[in-house]
């Protein structure tokens, strides 16, 4: 659900895990279980856009380089009572594709637009994305 600009809906109690919301996509990518119509370069592009957008938000990091509580920048009011600075690093689960070989298509395929970018550009040649359980 990554929009063309690298944003996505903020839902639920775990919003302060930021791009940790990408965990499932990252895991499926690492395991090589992407649906046929979803290309690794699309995933790389969408994930990069989300991570970059969130990390570049003003106030995301403190003066020592640690993450600060928030979804986009420093937003401590979004935190549940159990959230601490350490909790924020659950966002690292989005980095699972770092475990892929340097020769994997995820890294070596030319950049391509992800589904939302294609839809919003009026592309008529795409098929809709589905839940993983719908395609396996």
| pTM > 0.85 | yes
pLDDT digits (tens, 9 = 90+) for 21-35: 999 999 999 999 998
- pLDDT score for 134: 52
Rounded mean pLDDT of 118-135? 81
- pLDDT score for 26: 96
Asked if 73 contacts 16 with a C-beta cutoff of 8 angstroms, the reply is no
The full set of domain ranges for the chain reads 15-135
């Amino acid at each position: 659900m990554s929009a063309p600009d690298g944003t996505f809906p903020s839902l639920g109690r775990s919003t302060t895990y930021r791009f940790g919301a990408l965990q499932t996509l990252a895991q499926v990518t690492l395991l090589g279980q992407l649906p046929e119509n979803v290309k690794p370069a699309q995933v790389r592009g969408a994930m990069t856009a989300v991570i970059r957008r969130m990390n570049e938000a003003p106030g995301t990091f403190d003066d020592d380089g640690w993450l600060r509580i928030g979804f986009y920048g420093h937003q401590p009011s979004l935190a549940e009572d159990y959230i601490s600075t350490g909790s924020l690093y659950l966002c690292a689960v989005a980095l699972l594709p770092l475990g892929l070989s340097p020769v994997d298509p995820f890294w070596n395929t030319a950049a391509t637009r992800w589904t939302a970018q294609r839809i919003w550009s009026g592309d008529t040649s795409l098929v809709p994305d589905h839940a993983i359980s719908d395609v396996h």
